[in-house]
Structure 1
Amino acid sequence: MRWYRMTKKMTIKEIAELSGVGKSTVSRFFNNGYVSESVREKIEKIITENNYEPNVFARGIKAKNNRFIGIIVPCLDSIITSVILMRLDSKLREFGYIPLIINTNHTVDLEISNLENLSRLNVEGIVVIATEITKEHKNFVKRSKIPVLFIGQICKETYSIVNDEENAGKLMGEYIAKLGYKNVLYVGVNETDELVGVIRKKSVIDKLLDYKINVESITSDFTLEKTEQLLYKYLKNKKPSCIICATDNMAFGAIKALNSLGINVPEEVSVAGFGGYKISDLIVPSLTTIRFFNSLTGELAAESIIKLLNKEELPKIQKIGFEFLERKSIKK
């Protein structure tokens, strides 16, 4: 059966009247239900005369195997999210699937709402680039028959792709400790984000403590602006020898605060981050950081959701590797 969209607006009632059939018959036609061959020919004649064109979305969204994959993202302006999303999008298209991308602006309620919306749209699978996992996320997964894959957070009720936060954090902590820093500040994020807010932070700090390093930690958010404001106030009273930030973006905020106070980086205070953005190598001084393989995350996510659709075996948790980028923001 072919599917169409109108180049001029027509209602089902108008199509039915022109075809000489009932509205319910036209509705069955568009939803791939049974209609006789003679009636089908009448309806197709009308839609041809009125310049319908193929429309895969109108056709497919209610079909059982519609080739749509829902993708929920927390934002569209994140460097990491965009890298993952672009690779995920292109790989799904290579497999013949159509991504439906929804942005939530870091709003958890909107994320849950869109999970429900995608379920009602009957997408074949859902990929969520998550900032946290709530009870509502878990409840959705438990009752939904749609395969769901999380990126960036672990949901024990389904499948997840995450960064190897533990080993990355240990490597950063050990690197700073072996350089002889004795007074380190760690700037983290809210612990509702289990991977970055808890595991990344704990791995860094535990390794520093193994070397008897004095460590203090404060909590910001993922933004440059909030981190800059927070550290501007903090640094007026205290001066650590090194600041480790949970993300590169936050490290940029730390460097701005230090510059505003006339504190030289790295001569007086060293700074490190996590992320490995391209711009991290362009700023002065270039930022010492850990880069996760985000493009690989997007590709692996596409392959994994397809495997779930095909009912193939898949590890519950897949971890993405990283590389350490030693640059100029750390004084040796």
Structure 2
Amino acid sequence: MALPMTQLLRAAKLRAGGQLTQIVTCNPKSLEDALVKQFQQLGEALGVTEVGEAMAQQHYSRLQQLKEQDRVFVDSNGRKAKVLMVEWLEPLFLGTEGWMREIVEATWWRTWRMGEKWTWWSWHYPATGYSVMAAYILTERQVCCGNGCRHCPYGHANVKDPSRRKNALAGNVFLQPRRRSRGFAKGSPGGQKLWPEGADAGSDAQNDLVVMFWSGGKDSFLALGALYESYAVEQKPMPRVVLLTTIDPKTNVVPIQDIPSQTIAAEAEALELPLCLVAVGLGDEYTAALRNALRDIPEQMKRTKKSSKSPEQNGTTPSVSALVFGDLHLDDISIQQCTPTVKKTVLQY
């Protein structure tokens, strides 16, 4: 015999100790329902309204941020990607509406930029079926291979064909020379072509770490030669020189000098010296960008030598002993203001 609903509710109430169980049904129809209203509803039902509201506002803020980033990405690239979303196969449901579709619309552009953020070696690009090398592994290699990699962080510095140079420099990057002259070890200080005759190569522990501000012209070249001459005169081991060049990320050229980053990379390659490219134009951000680069260079140099060293040796990070400039008009600039950790500043040539 079927019992009336009132009797069933009374029996359930007695079994639960006099209190009925409250059932809260959540059936979100939109992404805002799922991420905002649902938390407000649950917070109210559980007696923690403030907690539910705080979580709702946190998710709402993140959702609006994603939508704005989507808008900016579309404005800068001129189009959206075509996305096929199959939510169910049996029965087939393509998700043409509802909050699952909204998720794709709000976050598709993040998939587009996967290779820039991932710490994986590569990822599969569905449009071509090929594996795409991620920016992380390209940065770890400290070499631009010249093949026009999709996520090349070096601004395609070694890509010879101008029509294939698509990437602009993003952030600070560190490039090692791809090859060494015969007779010189890969981990040698580099720059041997400009060393005076009979110069002492020394060892890692003896080599000063010197940062050479390199603008790509004759003054920089003559200053580098003068630096090596000064070490030879003092009978000191040749320094371990790192070239540093600022590149305007909007144009991929040296500010004011208008020398392409590809030319700078080719000069560093010819000199067999490591190169730090700093993505910054003219303006207020210049000093901060240089400070960050100078702090990063010692750690980058430490990474290049760890393959053949003991753990104890690997733990020692070299410090920048001097900065070298090839421009005569820098006498009135307070370099120490932006490089407080450098022991001395040397003005050459």
TM over 0.5: no
Give the TM-score normalised by the residue count of structure 2: 0.27
TM-score normalised by the chain length of structure 1: 0.28
Greater strand share, structure number = 1
Greater relative contact order (Cα < 8 A, sep 6+): 1
